[in-house]
Structure 1
Amino acid sequence: MTVDTVTPRRRTRIQQEKREVILEAALEVFSAHGFRGSTIDQIAEAAGMSKPNLLYYFRSKEDIHRTLLQRLLDTWLAPLRELDDIGDPMTELRSYIRRKLEMARDYPRESRLFANEIIQGAPRIMPMLEGELKTLVDEKAEVMKGWMHAGKIAPTDPWHLIFSIWATTQHYADFDVQVRAVLGPDRGGEGRFEDAARFLEQLYLEGLRPKG
């Protein structure tokens, strides 16, 4: 899916830098207030530019939001794309769980942006979900079914396995305040992600290890 903005001509370095400033400001605003609660004026203020100047680079709030979501989806799906059917299943799944937790740690604003869009019914990214996302998940589900048929992992529903990994890893981005509050000062520091990684590896990998 291609997301274009003001002009099809090649952008200059300064134009690209200005767009990045706008997108960074918009990410902060959208992740804090959601799409409906955010305005072009708020984004322009956060970017340190006038509203007319911002609208030179993006036609509308929807245009900015769609660009952010497309970028997010590309980033979010990268670890799943790297799941290799030739590799050892336990190694591949361990790497996937770890990468997803690293993204929860490093991209909490992006995770909230995506969660807000989904909660609203995905009005701006449904074609992405039904197209690119579905195609990739179906492809990797077939990889996992191949591992099951070869006796390399225990039989299970691969689609729901992927969903559950998403849910458990993204929890540490979307509910980070709750996680830190419950763990307290002794366990709520950066080490919480390593603790989570060890637990989720045990949960998934032991559950998927072939019996006998």
Structure 2
Amino acid sequence: MSSIRERNKGLILRAASEEFADKGFAAAKTSDIAAKAGLPKPNVYYYFKSKENLYLEVLESIVEPLLHASSPFNQPGRPAEVLRNYIRSKIRISRELPHASKVFASEIMHGAPHLTAEQIEQLNNQARHNINCLQGWIDEGLMAPVDPHHLLFSIWAATQTYADFDWQISVVTGKSTLADSDYDAAADTITRLVLKGCEVDERDARASQIKRA
């Protein structure tokens, strides 16, 4: 029974992510979410009680991966390795959770009215920690003296655009769906721009990779 419950909740959550991403919270209808999930409408209320609760679950489904993406900053590491892994983690979110990513972006653009105080604090604390790491590397002479706030904002924008502006990317590339190789190329390109622009020595990252191999 629990496996059926989890399966149905997963179907509803994915469908809700798409509907909220396409139409926003106010315009999205639970009937459309249920239809997209292939389940009766009462199931939405049975599992999530209300449309607002379902929206909050969609936000939760993206907040945790966003926090986890910063894990490279939460352990000892050199700038090149940390930044490379962070950028890849952010691109992975855009590839695997594009609809939830759009919902999160819309939530932020509207002043985060549905994010809990705890979620906002977690996200802000992690951002401040990442910025402090960047500033520490700058102070040690391991990076060029760029503004760490705007460097982080630039990485957010460059990686999240593959979810939030997927329609434009599809039009420009002529591809209805990006392949894994496209996301790999995106991560490599963004990483190269960041490391070169910040004058980070990439040999540190290569040395770490060789040691792990």
Bin for the TM-score computed over the shorter chain? 0.7 to 0.9
Give 2:31's aligned residue: 41
For 2:89 and 2:146, locate their aligned partners in 1 and report how far apart those are by CA, in whole Å: 22
Give 1:24's aligned residue: 14
The one-letter code sitting in structure 1 at the alignment partner of 2:56 is: R
> TM-score by structure 1 length?
0.82
* 2:143 corresponds to 1:153: yes
For 1:81 and 1:70, locate their aligned partners in 2 and report how far apart those are by CA, in whole Å: 18
SS at match of 1:155: coil
For 2:115 and 2:178, locate their aligned partners in 1 and report how far apart those are by CA, in whole Å: 34
Match for 2:55 among 65, 80, 83?
65
Percent of aligned pairs with the same amino acid: 36
Q: Which runs of 5+ in 1 are unaligned?
A: 1-10
Structure-2 change in CA distance of 1:13 and 1:179 (3 Å): closer
Deviates more, 1:82-91 or 1:148-157: 82-91
Higher normalized helix content (fraction of residues): 2
TM superposition outliers: structure 1 runs of 4+ over 6 Å: none
Give 1:15's aligned residue: 5
For 2:40 and 2:191, locate their aligned partners in 1 and report how far apart those are by CA, in whole Å: 48
SS at match of 2:26: coil
Correspondence list, 1:122-133, <5 A: 122-125=112-115, 127-128=117-118, 130-133=120-123
Give 1:101's aligned residue: 91
For 1:44 and 1:128, locate their aligned partners in 2 and report how far apart those are by CA, in whole Å: 30
Deviates more, 1:194-203 or 1:20-29: 194-203
For 2:13 and 2:178, locate their aligned partners in 1 and report how far apart those are by CA, in whole Å: 29
The alpha carbon displacement at 1:204 in A equals 0.8
Alpha-carbon RMSD across the aligned residues, in angstroms, is 2.3
Please tell me whether the aligned partners of residues 97 and 200 of structure 1 are also in contact (alpha carbons under 8 angstroms): yes
The alpha carbon displacement at 1:165 in A equals 0.2
Please tell me whether the aligned partners of residues 95 and 163 of structure 2 are also in contact (alpha carbons under 8 angstroms): yes
The alpha carbon displacement at 1:108 in A equals 1.6
Please tell me whether the aligned partners of residues 81 and 136 of structure 1 are also in contact (alpha carbons under 8 angstroms): no
Question: How far does the alpha carbon of each residue in 1:146-198 deviate from its partner, in whole angstroms, 9 at most, with x for none?
Answer: 2112111122222221111000111122112212322346xx85343333233
> TM-score by structure 2 length?
0.82
The one-letter code sitting in structure 1 at the alignment partner of 2:147 is: D
